[in-house]
Amino acid sequence: MPNDFPSDIVNEVGHRPWPMPGRAWMMRQSWHDLLFAHWPVAVDAVRTRVPRTLELDLFDGTAWVGVVPFHMTNVAPRAMPPLPWVSAFPELNVRTYVTYCGKPGVYFFSLDAANPLAVIVARTMLHLPYYRATMDVAVNGEWVEYESLRTQGGRTAHFKARYRPIGPVFQPTPGTLEHFLAERYCLYTADSIHVRRLDIHHPPWRLQSADAVIATNTVADASGIALPPVTPLLHFARRQDAVAWPPVMAS
């Protein structure tokens, strides 16, 4: 597979909220045709689904839950080239926002992926709630056609939508809701005692407003999160490149 990963992104650090880890990063990824679909959700409804060891990160007193479909290339450890059937696949996550020891990050309720090996590795090594799914992504003109159906786990998790960008590209301004939702540089996993942090690095997000027709969406329901019957806040990103570090006990 061709490797078009821009490794010099690690030199672009002025936008970061804290310095990059001093140890070597372990994994690279490129995310394509990504939709951020976000809903405001009652704080109590989210609080019951997030470990108490993590503090919810709220925007003007409101919790937000995101459903984020995209597809990936360049998925590989640092020392390896991209490999056929391994380094490119769709992924869909359901997330909210948390903070720990002053570092805001992402908490995932679930991550669906079409690559069984990635699911096994992420569950075993990264302690992330990955699930196998059958997934299909097609780009038809300006529209992205996306469908995911989970094949692992007891509850139905089905997402089917078409979406497209509709506005000019912009970088979110610090202090805005868009910046709060997108500009995150770590993710957390936790139980009743331990909190692990996985640091990531990427350039500033380049977003566009988006239009979406969501035909089916039960992926949040499968995690016990009832999304409100309101129009979600929608943003599109054509591409984002990122590197990630091994998880560590957070402090």
> Which domains are assigned to the chain?
21-249 (2.40.400.10)
Cα separation, 219 vs 224, in Å, equals 9
- Residue 19 has a CB neighbour count (10 Å cut-off) of 7
Residues 105, 98: Cα–Cα separation, whole Å:
6
Structure tokens at 155: 């509850």
Strand 248-249 relative to strand 208-217, pairing: unpaired
- Stated length of the chain: 251
Highest mean pLDDT among 77-81, 121-125, 206-210: 206-210
Buried b (16+ CB within 10 A) or exposed e, 138-175: eeeeebbebbbbbeeeeeebbbbbbbbbeeeeeebeee
Q: Measure the CA–CA gap between 57 and 106, rounded to whole angstroms.
A: 9
Distance CA 26, CA 186 (A): 14
Question: Which of 22, 30, 21 is closest to 203 using CA atoms?
Answer: 30
**pLDDT of 1:** 67
Q: Which residues contact 195 (CB under 8 A, 6 or more apart)?
A: 51, 53, 54, 100, 188, 189, 249, 250
Looking at residue 172, what is its pLDDT?
98
Residue 251 — very low, low, confident or very high, per pLDDT cuts 50/70/90? confident
Is residue 50 predicted with pLDDT exceeding 80? yes
Model-wide pTM > 0.85: yes
Looking at every residue in the chain, the average pLDDT score rounds to: 96
Cβ contact 9:241 at 8 Å: yes
| 81 — pLDDT class (breaks 50, 70, 90) | confident
The answer for residues whose C-beta is within 8 angstroms of residue 118's C-beta and 6 or more apart is 75, 86, 89, 130
Span 86-116, pLDDT tens digits: 899 999 999 999 999 999 999 999 999 999 9
Between CA 183 and CA 97 the distance in angstroms is 11
Closest CA to 221 of 131, 152, 155: 155
Contacts of residue 119, Cβ cutoff 8 Å, sequence gap at least 6: 113, 130, 131, 132, 152
Query: Can you give the pLDDT at residue 129?
Result: 96
pLDDT at 191: 87
Digit-coded pLDDT (tens) for 147-183: 999 998 878 899 999 999 999 999 999 999 999 999 9
Which tens digit of pLDDT belongs to each residue from 82-92?
888 789 999 99
